[in-house]
Amino acid sequence: MTTPLRTTYLHRALNSAISTITLTLFSAAIFATTLAQTQLNITEQNKRQQEYQSIFTQESAKLETPLPLENFTLSDLIHLALSHGPSIQSLQFSSAAAKAAQKSAKWQFYPTIALDAKRVFSANNSPSFQGDKHKIVLSITQPLWTGGKLSAGLNYARSNSDAASAQLDQGKRDIGLRVIQDYGQWLATALKKDAWQKSLSTHKSLLNLVNRRVKLGLSAKSDRALASGRLASSLAELEAIEAQEQIALIKLSAFIRRPLTSKNLIEVMSKSIKVHSSRAELLLRAKKLNPDIDYAHAKINMANAQTQQQRAAFKPQISLRLEHQIGDFDNADQDDESRIFLQLNSQFGAGLSMLSNIQEAKSLQLAAGAQLEVERQAIEVQVIIDHIAVRSYTQRIKALDTSLRTAISVARSYKRQFLAGHKSWLDVLNATRDLVNQRLILADAKAANLVASWRLATVTNGVSDYTGTEI
């Protein structure tokens, strides 16, 4: 027959076993869920990496595989560079990491769940473990007041996310400006190549002319030697400009990760953007869209949040802690126990380090404010310079067009006058040289105007959104 004491002991043991099994199953479920979520995240991350690796492999193969003829405008090249640039992908990952850190900062306001499960293996007569062989403590801690530390941490994470987004915009803008600069280099070389090809054709025609005249005894052999020298000089200049053209094309090809030739660009050659907006309007739009200014603002907010964090460190943290304990190493057959704690914690750091940290945060705040003024001045100077350059090049191109038409007329007139005996052979060759020089000067002006106008459009309208022909 079972005694009451024996029944009570069995009842307690049964309850303890049930509680242990329930809590163990609950803990295992939490662990399994967390493990499954972690494995899912790892699987998704590996899948993304495989996708990016596949894209990178495909794009790398494109660099070595000739493509069918396809025309690209400057806007097309910019969009392709932004889509395929590895530096942009790196900044995108950094921005995603900053956003994840911001979410983590939000979760700091929620309770913290902890599980501490222990089992001891000791001798039965061990004086240190006279109770149960296991001890399980499940706790939930909720911060009630942190003196602004959690809010400052969230503000810091949010500002850091804004800074990462601004850095992404900076990277896109810089890529766009580099593509514009290299496209301007290609445009200048393409126009100069056309000028030297025309010059080469003209000099060949003049050499044939003087050869016939030398055979007829109408011109001296020195005239033929002079024509041959000018022809060789034009050929050398053409070779040099073709090399520069290839360099510009290689730079553009690297941005879009596919081979380019002038045939891909010449049919849809982009033109300069007309500027109708006032300088004040351009400055206002540039400051509003400038990622350098956005980054400086984000750094200021980060410094402010860091200062708040350091000041909050002086204040105590109050939190509520709930615990449920199963088993006890000191007392055997003890009932499960639940407890509530009201905690107050303070950490002042080593020596006066916290005061130094506050001073550091204030200095960073002042430095960020000074950098903001630097960025504002820089964008003002850049917009003003480009605005003046576009206006100047626009007027200069008109004058150079007139000068070019005059040079063409003079070269033709000198050739006719030479045949009539009113001009020397040297005058004809000099007129031809002046003509090619006018074309070269005009090529530089057109390329510089395109670069300045597109750069102005980029900083005032954004690198990704602008597709118009005027600002």
Residues 13 and 86 in one domain: no
Residues 257 and 172 in one domain: yes
Q: What is the pLDDT of residue 97?
A: 93
pLDDT tens digits, one per residue of 348-360: 766 667 778 778 8
| Tally of structural domains, the chain | 3
Q: What is the pLDDT of residue 469?
A: 66
Residues 364 and 255 in one domain: yes
Q: What is the pLDDT of residue 67?
A: 45
Residues lower than pLDDT 70 in the chain:
1-69, 122-132, 329, 349-352, 464-469
| Main-chain phi, psi angles of 443, to 5 degrees | -65, -45
Residues 298 and 362 in one domain: yes
Residues 191 and 281 in one domain: yes
Q: What is the pLDDT of residue 51?
A: 52
Residues 133 and 239 in one domain: no
Q: How far is 130 from 120, CA to CA, in rounded Å?
A: 11
> Which pTM was predicted?
0.75
Residues 93 and 34 in one domain: no
Cα torsion angle, 453, 455, 458, 460, sign: negative
- Dihedral (Cα; 188, 189, 191, 195), 10-degree rounding: 130
Residues 267 and 299 in one domain: yes
Residues 50 and 196 in one domain: no
Note down the domain range covering 181. 71-110+149-313+353-471
Residues 257 and 358 in one domain: yes
Query: What does the angle CA 135 – CA 141 – CA 142 come to, to the nearest 5 degrees?
Result: 165
Q: What is the pLDDT of residue 470?
A: 74
Instruction: Tell me if 133 sits within 8 A of 119, measured CB to CB.
Output: yes
**Where residue 360 sits, what CATH number does that domain have?**
1.20.1600.10
Strand partners, 113: 140
Q: What is the pLDDT of residue 461?
A: 87
Nearest to 369 by CA among 417, 304, 319: 304
Residues 291 and 382 in one domain: yes
